[in-house]
Structure 1
Amino acid sequence: MWVEKHGPTYRIRDRVGDKKITVADGYHNKTAAKKAMTALAGDQVRGDLVMPSAGEKLLGDWARDWWEARKSGLSPNTQRSEWSRIQTHILPALGDQAVGDIRPLHVQRWVSELGKKRSAKTVANVHGVLNSIMAGAVAQRLIRANPCAGTKLPRGMAAEMRFLTEPEAGRLLAALPEHYRPLYLTALGTGLRWGELAGLRAGRVDVLAGTLRVEETLSELPGSGELVFGPPKTSGSRRTVTLPSEVRQALVGLVADRKPAELVFLTATGQPLRIRNFRRIWLAATERAGVGGIRFHDLRHTHVAWLLSAPEPPNLTAIQRRLGHASISITSDRYGHLLPAVDERISKALDVALPRSDWGQGGGTGRTEPTDNDRQPPASSTANEITNS
């Protein structure tokens, strides 16, 4: 960078490739321009320098550039949902604004308006996409800071979870056609998502070791109905899950004679599972079992509830890894309300372990009489011993 006179003022210039650009201008004297250039050089060394006119790029143009780089790592369903959020909620409201002109106040107003028409969950999902777009703009030095940081999102009522009791789980097992009972038991015993179960291949199940490996999912594209394999929901969703003995026994017959690439769970006619077709079977079985309203996904919630109600429940970090959540906060937000029962068991255990004392005696001090070993010599003798030693 260098300083040069430009008409009655001074400006800071730099070279980008073979092109000279003006970094800043309008300084009344050379000293002020040099001082500003020193500060800009420091920003450049730290990687904080935002090049002039970078923030003038329209959000709509930047969002499309960002999306082309982003979409390749997403599953088909996630691609469809995220691009829909961009087209439906972000581009119409903010697409014509320059990236550098969007301020936190603009984002907050946009969120507030969106919250009047959409659920809190939808607002959070859409804001999350905009936040990623703006984070990308910061990374590419289009802007200095993300205007989505600190946005206050609307709070919605959490969807009520349903859990099966052990007797209900047994009735539902009996009500399902025999062909689908291993699928049901595996969902209940591992907490896997539907797509993870539908995309599970025989080569990823080790019944001898008692584990299975989640590496991909199978989903059905809306509209076309095409079945596609894709990556798990998050990077943390790639995981190894241990199998209870009942699940191991249920899976032995399904994987014994199959090639590693073959799917474990199929329809009664040998076709890949489709959730919309299985739903009819599921609804009929839940009605017969007297647990109408239970969703297949509630087996995942039931799995966690049973883990937390065990005599020695695992901690949330272990449950997070088992479920494949991206962060511990997701696990805590979703299942933290189940922890009071665990805390109660902890308190009872401590009640048994802590030493007893008569808190109602001796003026309420709670002190017990000292033993001979606890008694200290008089202060004077102690001092003499120290002096004479």
Structure 2
Amino acid sequence: MPIYPYDKGGKEHWYYAFEVKDHNGKRKTIKKRGFKGKTEARNAEAAARTEWNKGTYIDPSTLLYKDYVTDWLKNKQDISDKTRITNEGHIKNHINPILGEIPLQKINIMHIEKFIQSMQEKGLSQGTVKKIFNFVQTSFNSAYRKEIIAKNPFALLDKSSKPRPGRARVDYWTKEEIKIFLESVDHRNKIIFILAIYTGMRQGEILGLRWRDVDFENAQIRIRQTLDYKGEIQEKVKTDAGYRSISASESLLAELKKHRTLIEKEKLAAEEYFDHDLVVCRKNGRPTCVTNFHRFWKRRTKKVNVRQIRFHDLRHTCASLLLSSNIHPKIVQEMLGHSSIKVTMDTYSHLMPNMQKDAVAALDELLK
């Protein structure tokens, strides 16, 4: 069998190579490297021969990037369904129009630079450009490790040419804007906004919150499950840090009790009730429709004379109020469920100068 060893990084690897004739009778060599064992190489060689004989073999030198990246993404196991759908959208809208029709092995630095420029010309945010760039770079890193390509163009790219990471978009309401908005809302879903502002919980955490996770006696809210973007209940949260308990104020507990009374009345009035123990649900008990909720949010903010912000910005609103009240960033991190205090500090660093002024003034007072 045409299996051969070679050295890579001081370790023995294997490749296969065999000759065939194309439909014009011209001889060509089919070759692939990157196998860590002789058996693995032999099995791959046998499969390649079978594919050639069936007419389904794809020559790596002619493999288009769009075919490679689609197959590569399909085989990735370490991403969520939401991330996979997002990446598929990026491939269709931003990646394939520039790189898709070029053979993987022929893509060079000039192609990558043109790809970056195309995203910037579309007016994509700095953060989005960086995410798409990282996705494509990771796909090339994988192709290089598997020795599908001999050179990785990303390794040759100047640092100055790479897109810079964008600062997370942060907007928030003032105390006055919060009061105006909450006073204008007279709806059974008002509790969603109250929870977001008073606790900084994520949308999925609020829509997936169960009554059993609201501890009225000890004034605690436990985050244990979420509602995902498809409207399905997930008995998990975004990160390990997301599993947390949040202290609930007297005002928040009073609003929750009022809302619980409403839910109990709806249970009795409904012809058929699907009890998922959800704090936030439809009148028949089923989970909230995420798409409809976003429409509801936009209608409400347009109806009231306040600045238009995203629902996620209510989470930032909670953080800004806490930090402006000199609450330690570590407490804010724990409440919001950030994976580290660095995330909190990086996201809300623009709020820190005011805290530093207060700290310096306090130190000055102590040392007088």
- Other-structure match for 1:51: 34
SS at match of 1:51: strand
Match of 1:173 among 173, 179, 182: 182
CA separation in 2, counterparts of 1:352 and 1:145? 62
- Other-structure match for 1:361: none
Task: For 1:151-166, list aligned pairs within 5 A.
Answer: 152-153=162-163, 159=169, 161-165=171-175
CA separation in 1, counterparts of 2:225 and 2:319? 21
User: Structure 1 234/195 Cα, relative in aligned 2: closer, same or farther at 3 Å?
Assistant: closer
| 2:217 aligned with 1:217 | no
Task: For 1:1-389, list aligned pairs within 5 A.
Answer: 19-22=1-4, 40=8, 42-44=10-12, 51=34, 56=61, 58-70=64-76, 73-75=79-81, 77-104=82-109, 106-120=111-125, 121-137=127-143, 140=146, 142=148, 147-148=153-154, 150=159, 152-153=162-163, 159=169, 161-165=171-175, 167-209=176-218, 210-220=220-230, 227-229=231-233, 234-236=238-240, 238-245=242-249, 246-252=251-257, 261-267=276-282, 270-279=285-294, 281-282=296-297, 285-286=300-301, 290-315=305-330, 318-325=331-338, 330-354=343-367, 356=368
- Tell me if structure 1 keeps the 8 A contact 2:188–2:259: no
CA separation in 2, counterparts of 1:231 and 1:104? 44
For structure 1, the residue ranges without an aligned partner over 5 or more in a row are 1-18, 24-36, 221-226, 357-389
CA separation in 2, counterparts of 1:42 and 1:329? 39
1:263: how far off? 2.0
User: Structure 1 203/66 Cα, relative in aligned 2: closer, same or farther at 3 Å?
Assistant: farther
SS at match of 1:264: coil
Percentage of matched positions with identical amino acids: 26
- Tell me if structure 2 keeps the 8 A contact 1:196–1:232: no
Q: What is the aligned-residue RMSD (CA, Å)?
A: 4.0
1:303: how far off? 0.6
Query: What is the TM-score normalised by the length of structure 2?
Result: 0.67
User: Structure 1 252/106 Cα, relative in aligned 2: closer, same or farther at 3 Å?
Assistant: same
1:173: how far off? 2.0
* 199-208 or 318-327, larger mean C-alpha shift: 318-327
Query: Residue by residue, what CA displacement relative to the aligned partner does 1:93-137 show, whole Å, maximum 9, x if unpaired?
Result: 223445455445542331023211231344223223213323443
User: Structure 1 252/290 Cα, relative in aligned 2: closer, same or farther at 3 Å?
Assistant: same
- Tell me if structure 1 keeps the 8 A contact 2:204–2:227: yes
Query: What is the TM-score normalised by the length of structure 1?
Result: 0.64
User: Structure 1 139/40 Cα, relative in aligned 2: closer, same or farther at 3 Å?
Assistant: closer
User: Structure 1 59/279 Cα, relative in aligned 2: closer, same or farther at 3 Å?
Assistant: closer
